[in-house]
Amino acid sequence: MSQIMLDAVAARDRSMDGVFYYAVLSTGIYCRPSCPSKRARRENVVFFRAREAAEHAGFRPCKRCKPEAAAAADPNGQLVEKICRHIDAHPGEPVTLEALSRALGMSPFHLQRTFKARTGITPRAYSDSRRLNSLKAGLREGHSVTRSLYDAGYGSSSRLYENASAHLGMTPSRYRKQGAGVTIRYTIAPSPIGQMLLAATERGICAVQFGNSVAALERELRAEYPKAEIARSDRKLTEEVRAMREIMGGNSSRSLPLDIQATAFQRRVWEALQAIPRGATKSYSKIAADIGHPKAARAVARACAINPVAVAIPCHRVVREDGALGGYRWGVDRKKKLLALEAARNDVG
């Protein structure tokens, strides 16, 4: 199931209308992503690239969002749907603007501009996301790495492994085993906003969490990585703890090596967060606009909520449209204090 599609449905993102449709198994109805109907449970939702496919599967068009009428009235949506269908039908082919423009009979400039304006990502990013989702599905179903990578359209194992850690957070073979064999070292140390748990693999930091209970922090880490080998290692993570304290105190803006999983959309959000100057804030809608997805403020909020490395990816710098702090996974009081620490350092500097 595509995370990009789930994010779009959660945000009722009009820019994705025509790109795909979702149907609800319990009602037998299919809708546009922006449909105002009450959201169905995730396990009851299926996705289709075309209206015809949804109807062929026995689903009826929604009477509220009228997907059949909207598709006929939106030529740009039809164009984006056509591009997506072509990419889906040729999973093993390289996605270049020149090749797509030849196949679809339009200029590369118009193709790229229309696709990005409607989806917030490039055709290549869309192809990468679809291929990665196919790979994950194959691995989760227990297929071998070799079969999964070729079924997903990767031309070679070297091409897959070049980018796997950035997308999976681990090698494909370890992902298939749900993290079994991964060694995670962690430490718990005091910080300006309470007890901080910092955990890292050999590739980088994979978790930064805050709380009042050491035992609760440890339980949450083990629940997140149930099959990994987890060991406390205070000495080996001294430098990382020092760096995190400096960042929290506004004394440093350095980037730390991270080992985290993310969808293409989440990566765009997190990169935008890291670009916010310390002590400054932006609204969820402004972040959505910055990444070229102006209707996806709710999806931005969701990406912030699941950020696994607090402060390293500064989701505390995102606020509501009216300037109110809004929520924070580790408590609004901690969010307020982090912003105050950064602002105070800016006043001194």
- Where on the phi/psi map is residue 319: left (φ > 0), alpha (ψ -120 to 50), or beta? beta
pLDDT in tens, 163-188: 544 444 445 555 545 556 688 999 99
Binning pLDDT at 50, 70 and 90, where does residue 326 land?
confident
Q: What is the mean pLDDT of the chain?
A: 79
Q: What is the pLDDT of residue 124?
A: 81
Type of residue numbered 221: L
Instruction: Tell me the helix, strand and coil percentages in the chain, rounded to 5.
Output: 50, 15, 35
The active-site residue out of 35, 62, 206, 315 is 315
Active site residue 35: no
Q: What is the pLDDT of residue 238?
A: 93
Average pLDDT over residues 149-158: 55
The active-site residue out of 31, 62, 65, 84 is 31
Comparison of pLDDT for 14 and 216, the residue scoring more: 216
> Is the predicted pLDDT of residue 334 greater than 50, yes or no?
yes
129-149: burial string, b at 16+ Cβ within 10 Å, e else: bbbbbbbbebbeeeeebeebb
In angstroms, the CA 140 to CA 137 distance is: 5
> Is the predicted pLDDT of residue 349 greater than 50, yes or no?
no
Binning pLDDT at 50, 70 and 90, where does residue 56 land?
low
- Nearest Cα residue to 298 out of 74, 44, 14: 14
Identify the structural domains of the chain with CATH numbers, from first to last. 3-72 (3.40.10.10), 76-177 (1.10.10.60), 183-248 (3.30.160.70), 264-348 (1.10.10.10)
| Tokens found for residue 247 | 């960042």
Burial class (CB in 10 A: 0-12, 13-18, 19+), 113: exposed
Binning pLDDT at 50, 70 and 90, where does residue 296 land?
confident
Comparison of pLDDT for 279 and 22, the residue scoring more: 22
Average pLDDT over residues 304-316: 90
> Is the predicted pLDDT of residue 52 greater than 90, yes or no?
no
Strand order of the sheet with strand 183-191?
204-211, 194-201, 183-191, 229-232
Q: Which of 56-65, 184-193, 226-235 has the lowest mean pLDDT?
A: 56-65
Q: What is the pLDDT of residue 343?
A: 82
Comparison of pLDDT for 82 and 162, the residue scoring more: 82
Q: What is the pLDDT of residue 158?
A: 47
Q: What is the pLDDT of residue 162?
A: 46
Type of residue numbered 22: Y
Binning pLDDT at 50, 70 and 90, where does residue 281 land?
very high
In this prediction, what percent of the chain has a pLDDT beyond 70? 76
Q: What is the pLDDT of residue 1?
A: 41
Active site residue 206: no
Average pLDDT over residues 123-148: 68
Average pLDDT over residues 217-229: 83
